[in-house]
Chain A
């Protein structure tokens, strides 16, 4: 984009650049490339996004602590889902190994911030601005290490290899007891501390849940904007070219290996950050949780939300995370469904069946996911009452 701008400045002075030259009363008339490429390119989008962000922030005082905790978890999962969407949605490299990178992030963060000299490895660096990037970077390094294998493989071969990664990772984390505490025991998760101020305790900023909710919200907005920017940049276009036809992309001058490695690296960075943050809410991390199920959940978030859209990934993560509290409320509404795990049908079974069914139904009827539903609704009302 910068190239276009400078070229326009030097050679064709007539083409206006920048945002300033909007024509009054014509909100959809773009007079420059920058306007056309803007993240929020219509007034409606600017207003609705602004309102959404304001609403999200005001929820921290409107909702009860219990709901805030669920939402904070959903935001962290959304960061992970955006990461998976970068490699699977934008770059088209199917990864069933996302849980592995989440685990690496979680343990890097936990090891850095853990108390030194305890049962498990700890370095006592509890400042979040140190351990969060570190968690992301270590996971990204792991992603870059795995990527050469991925560049040799395509499609379903890659899916199965990344699935193998989850099993190998699970084994390593279960065995490496000095780091993870071992299966069934676990260890204390990363402690979020910002300039000496603990973010997971009640304090002057609000209750523990309120502070964590705001932290996760701010981070989610930052990660989401970064991903949107990445998607519309040169790198994002290279990813899309590889997804649509890798050989054609290479012929057009996109270095396949470099961009596939980059896609895995960035995706794993997101996964690592999500992993580091995810367990600060419960304060406890157990090696058994990074199973194939977690990878499938991330895949479900991306597919239900909408492939290759950032807002879709966020919507999918919210949807999947809210599914759990919603199904927990079912026994009071539908008396057939029991809250007792020993009876059939119980809420856990209903929840799992819903996962599976929703994935199938969305893929069969609306492959673009929640984002597709939104686009449909938007297009309907855009032309209302003359829609047909």
Chain B
């Protein structure tokens, strides 16, 4: 029981990182109807920025600066490559983000080099005991920070003028435009927010084990998370991220014992299995809106 709870907490920690990334995907999707495959590159860039800045400004300053920096990069990408494509098929724009991802990752990899870069974070592999449970501090930090960010984000969408504008544009772009909402601003804001969240997620991915060139693969696990939650549901993204994280963590701990025939490292692909199972039952995810088509 103790081991199970510790596993679940680790899963929730990792899952909250997936949730942050998934939120970025969903925010961009809701605003522009496009899945941005550039998120992995932005995540990696955020982690690298933290690792360099931490030597200058200390860890917490570095996280804030890096997140703002990556938000700026995301704004730039949106302005240069995405805005000119308004009105083109979504698949075309999605593939453009794929191309951007490849380019940005090469640049970032040049900064990483061949070795592992450390974040300089205060948690490392340090552990803390809550009652009988012994868990790593970083899982708790991930959960707490994500909870705060998600609360802030939902408050932003609920109570601010810009949040309202974004919700309106997500609901119906043309009507929002007619009501005086600058849809271009909404696009930019969505990319900026996604970049910000990706950078924070990248920092958390790098805590403890550090980051290397292949770390970007982790960001792709947010894709099953958004599919599980439903592409256009912010709450679904958070829940999807946590579900994916917990399932992965459970398989990591118990699959070797109970289902060794699945092979080593099966946990790495469990997010995709979860996704397939959910899609077989609900083609639009757990909380996604079913599309109603008119011809």
Instruction: Please give the residue numbers on chain A whose beta carbons come within 8 Å of chain B beta carbons, in ascending order.
Output: 94, 149, 152-157, 159-161, 163-165, 167-168, 170-172, 174-175, 245, 247-248, 251, 292, 296, 299-300, 303, 342, 344-345, 349, 352-353, 355-360, 363-364, 367
Q: Is the CB of B100 within 8 A of A356?
A: yes
Interface string of B201-237 (1 = CB under 8 A from A): 0000000000000000000100110110001000000
Given known contacts A300-B99, A352-B105, A353-B106, what 9 new A-B pairs fall within 8 Å (CB)?
A: A149-B280, A163-B220, A165-B272, A168-B269, A175-B264, A356-B103, A356-B106, A360-B96, A364-B84
Chain B residues with a Cβ closer than 8 Å to the other chain, count: 49
Partner of B92, one of A157, A163, A345, A363: A363
| Residue B181, interface by CB 8 Å | no
* B237-293 interface (Cβ within 8 A of A): 263-266, 268-269, 271-273, 275-276, 279-280, 283-284, 291, 293
| Residue B145, interface by CB 8 Å | no
Residues of B within 8 A of A168 (CB): 269, 272-273
Q: Which residue of A lies closest to B284 (CB)?
A: A157
**In whole Å, how far is B89's beta carbon from the nearest beta carbon of chain A?**
9
Partner of A359, one of B91, B99, B114: B99
Q: Is the CB of B275 within 8 A of A156?
A: no
Q: What 5 A-B pairs have minimum CB-CB distances, sorted nearest first?
A: A175-B263, A356-B102, A359-B99, A164-B272, A356-B103
Partner of B35, one of A160, A359, A363: A160
Q: With A168-B272, A353-B103 given, is the CB distance from A163 to B223 under 8 Å?
A: yes
| Residue B152, interface by CB 8 Å | no
Q: Is the CB of A303 within 8 A of B90?
A: no
Residues of A within 8 A of B223 (CB): 160, 163-164
**Bound complex: CA A296 to CA B95 (Å):** 9
**Bound complex: CA A42 to CA B95 (Å):** 35
Q: With A160-B223, A360-B99, A363-B95 given, is the CB distance from A248 to B264 under 8 Å?
A: no
Residues of A within 8 A of B6 (CB): none
**Bound complex: CA A303 to CA B114 (Å):** 32
Q: Which residue of B lies closest to A148 (CB)?
A: B280
| Residue B151, interface by CB 8 Å | no
Residues of B within 8 A of A352 (CB): 102-103, 105-106
Residues of A within 8 A of B34 (CB): 156
Residues of B within 8 A of A159 (CB): 35, 91, 94
Interface string of B126-157 (1 = CB under 8 A from A): 00000000000000000000000000000000
Q: Which residue of A lies closest to B274 (CB)?
A: A164
Residues of B within 8 A of A175 (CB): 263-264
Residues of B within 8 A of A357 (CB): 99, 103
| Residue B178, interface by CB 8 Å | no
Q: Which residue of B lies closest to A160 (CB)?
A: B223
Residues of B within 8 A of A356 (CB): 98-103, 106
**In whole Å, how far is A19's beta carbon from the nearest beta carbon of chain B?**
38
**In whole Å, how far is A49's beta carbon from the nearest beta carbon of chain B?**
30
Task: List 18 A-B pairs, Cβ < 8 Å.
Answer: A152-B283, A153-B283, A156-B94, A157-B231, A157-B284, A163-B220, A164-B275, A168-B269, A168-B272, A175-B264, A245-B295, A247-B295, A248-B295, A344-B110, A349-B106, A353-B103, A356-B102, A367-B92
| Residue B4, interface by CB 8 Å | no
Residues of A within 8 A of B5 (CB): none
**Bound complex: CA A194 to CA B284 (Å):** 49
Partner of B227, one of A160, A170, A342: A160
| Residue B185, interface by CB 8 Å | no
* B55-76 interface (Cβ within 8 A of A): none
Residues of A within 8 A of B276 (CB): 149, 161, 164
Residues of A within 8 A of B100 (CB): 356, 360
